[in-house]
Amino acid sequence: MNLCRKQSRRRRGSAAIEFAFLVPILILMLIAIIDLSNYFTLAFDTQRAAKDAAKVGATTILSPGETGSVIEDAAVAQARLVLSVTTIPCEDDHIKASWAFDRDMGYYAVTVKVQCPYKPLLMNLIGDSKAQFTMITQQQTLIQ
């Protein structure tokens, strides 16, 4: 009888030691999963901001005498709006919009680049989230 009690105590002690070894590994895995899901959410929102901004820039109609800066300003404002709704901190110099007009083909293209810093929980192995989106349209007939 005394022998059975000693063996059960040993088993409980070994289970506690195994648990103590596995808990830090499981916690690190959980933090890594949370960190990776946060990065993918940031990457998705950054891509959406670039896409929406390019769409707004491409649908902005220029009046006679206006320059392409109106298109760029509208695209940057839309990217800021999308990022502010998703509560992603992104500085003004991380959003760039440009446009180009091709007279021969009769279209213009709006390109928006968005870069948002990623702040991980553990280690920064991935880097910042970057997105670029270009939209081409043939609506503009007023550009000369």
pLDDT band at 44 (very low <50, low <70, confident <90, very high): very high
| pLDDT tens digits, one per residue of 92-141 | 778 888 888 776 766 778 899 999 888 887 777 778 888 999 888 865 55
Average pLDDT score over residue span 50-57: 90
Q: What is the pTM of this model?
A: 0.74
- Where along the chain do its domains lie? 2-137
Q: How far apart are CA 99 and CA 119, in angstroms?
A: 31
More confident site: 90 or 26: 26
Residue in the structure block whose two tokens are 């810093």? 117
Q: How far apart are CA 123 and CA 26, in angstroms?
A: 17
